[in-house]
Amino acid sequence: MRKMIRHFCDFIFGKHRNNNLPRVWILAVDTFIVLFAYIVAVLMYFSKDLANLTINWKYIWIYPLPYLIAFLISKTYDGMLRYSGFNDIRKILSSCTLTLVFYVVSKLLFIKFWTIVAVKVYPPFVIIFYHYLITMVMMIILRLVIRRLYNESYKNQNSKQNTIIYGAGDGGTMLLRTLTQDTSSKMKVVAFVDDNPKRVGTQINTIKILSPSMVMKEDFIKKNRIEIMVLAIPSLDEKRSREIIEQGLALNLIVKSIPAFDKWVDGKISTNQIQDIKIEDLLGRKPIILGKSNVIREIYEKVVLVTGAAGSIGSEICRQVMQYKPSKLIMLDQAESPMYDFQFEMNNTDDFKDKRDKMAFVITNVKDPIRMREVFEMYHPQVVFHAAAYKHVPFMEENAYEAVFVNVFGTKLVADLAMEFGVEKFVMISTDKAVNPTNVMGATKRIAEIYTQSRQSKTKFITTRFGNVLGSNGSVVPLFRKQIEKGGPITVTDRRITRFFMTIPEACSLVLEAGSIGEGGDIFVFDMGEKVKIWDLAEKMRKLAHKPEIEIIETGLRPGEKLYEEVLANEENTIKTDNEKIMHAIVRKYEASDVDAMFNKLHEALETCDPMKIVAQMKVIVPEFKSNNSIFSQLDK
């Protein structure tokens, strides 16, 4: 029987079964239904008096015409038959009713003003009404039958994965409808799970709604061979959502979710919108969403320079800056290949590709005085976001010369040029590792902070500090992903190690906001949320990948690495700003003359290329710099 249905569908759909059936076919079939329905209506009218049955074949072509016009207006032919639903039925109801009203009104008018035409052309009112009902019912039945035949014929015959939907509200109901209609879906819904006791025990389309206490147990999962759980409550708060996700992961389920209601298309959700749970969903912090008015004021129609533009932070700053319509955005980096990829992205992104004349891409190093001066002379930037820096702690322990040259003197060069060319604001991207630094990288960032904070000019210098960002180049998240893809092991330096985390877009939006509210000499720190244990992060990523067999091992702290990051936001060293997510750090002030003297000595040490002399002078500038590196720690004695 199934083969017969399949052959029939192949004949009907042909090569179009994976695309849309030609619209003209549907319109032609609907027109035929109108004609057929008229004949049936006439037969029904004369069923008790067949001897007097008459069909005026001369004017029969007139009857489909108003319906055809109504179909074109309502676009009843525009939907995919295999996905026919309420909207399609609504279109049929409205078009047929519109035609009925037209027939009734026009016949009444003809009866009053042109009776002969009304008698010859128009059938009795009863036939018009029968015709209306039969046409409407047949069109609806056709669509439902075609959808059923298609689903039965082309339903994925591969083994489906038993699925539970957590949430039996609007989201869950719509998800079930989507999965039922999508023949390519490999998810078979076997139960709903809902926290609301009033829903428990009822059904949605024959699918039972069960309580979490019944379903979220290992024996139930194994007995029903459940593999997937889809969280279908878009409005659920983050804490409860995280609890449910972690429950599912603990039961070795593949956990997915659906997007917020405002991201649905025409009130519907597609299977493509069913999302895998990301590690960001499990970090226990609410996303930071900021207003735009302050940033618009600072960036709109201004020339903006971003150094380190090809990096994780720099590139996201560029993307966000472009949304505020600068007159020109200069993106500068020394990394050729990443910069080439970033240029291709920006030039081909829908939001930006028509703004190519407002973007400039520059390859150079921030420590090159000739080239950097040329950039400032050519573009005269009004706002500078300085994100260029070396940031990998172990590398910089081994390359103190380069760390100081780029992070300290590169920053000094860009800052000096900013003052010389009248830049309005200079925003430096720093790090939480600059707080009581234990490594060369953190110390270089603190020294750069000291220099920019000591500069008093028309240029307003603002520093922003934050911790680790998820997914940035070199961060633990992409590292863990690579290790998981290779089959492990996942390496964690110490089981006790903790870090602060936020997403790249959040960090960059805070940078833009802090830059807009800064008045010069400010150091802003961000609300990074709660500390995250790296070991727990690794375990969660292993669960998300469904590879419990992968081992997590400790490798020991690397040179210069901290076990715990400093707490950035407490009442002792910060004061509040108007934005609750941004705090103003209270730090020691330095006189420009003192800073210049210290920098001269640091430059003399740099010229020796001797790491010990360089780090020794760094410790003079930053007395709180206590190295964790055994090589440099002897300088603390």
Measured CA to CA, the distance from residue 313 to residue 333 in angstroms comes to: 12
Measured CA to CA, the distance from residue 25 to residue 29 in angstroms comes to: 6
Neighbours of 206 (CB within 10 A): 5
Measured CA to CA, the distance from residue 628 to residue 393 in angstroms comes to: 11
Tell which residue, 482, 449, 477, 479, has the closest CA to residue 463: 449
Q: Is 58 a catalytic residue?
A: no
Measured CA to CA, the distance from residue 243 to residue 293 in angstroms comes to: 36
Q: Quick check: 161 and 187 in contact, CB under 8 A?
A: yes
Q: Quick check: 514 and 320 in contact, CB under 8 A?
A: no
Amino acid at 48: K
Measured CA to CA, the distance from residue 172 to residue 204 in angstroms comes to: 10
Amino acid at 551: E
Q: Quick check: 392 and 398 in contact, CB under 8 A?
A: no
Between helix 369-379 and helix 411-420 the angle, nearest 10°, is: 30
Measured CA to CA, the distance from residue 436 to residue 413 in angstroms comes to: 25
Q: Quick check: 393 and 558 in contact, CB under 8 A?
A: yes
Q: Quick check: 426 and 461 in contact, CB under 8 A?
A: yes
Catalytic residue among 91, 412, 433, 543, which?
433
Instruction: State which H helix or E strand residue 369 sits in.
Output: helix 369-379
DSSP secondary structure string, 102-151? HHHHHHHHHHHH-HHHHHHHPPPHHHHHHHHHHHHHHHHHHHHHHHHHHH
Q: Quick check: 451 and 411 in contact, CB under 8 A?
A: yes
Q: Which residues make Cβ contacts (< 8 Å) with residue 32, sequence separation at least 6?
A: none
Task: Using CB atoms within 10 Å of the CB of residue 354, give its burial: 0 to 12 exposed, 13 to 18 middle, 19+ buried.
Answer: exposed
- DSSP symbol at 521: S
Chain position carrying tokens 């990829």: 341
Catalytic positions, written as ranges: 433
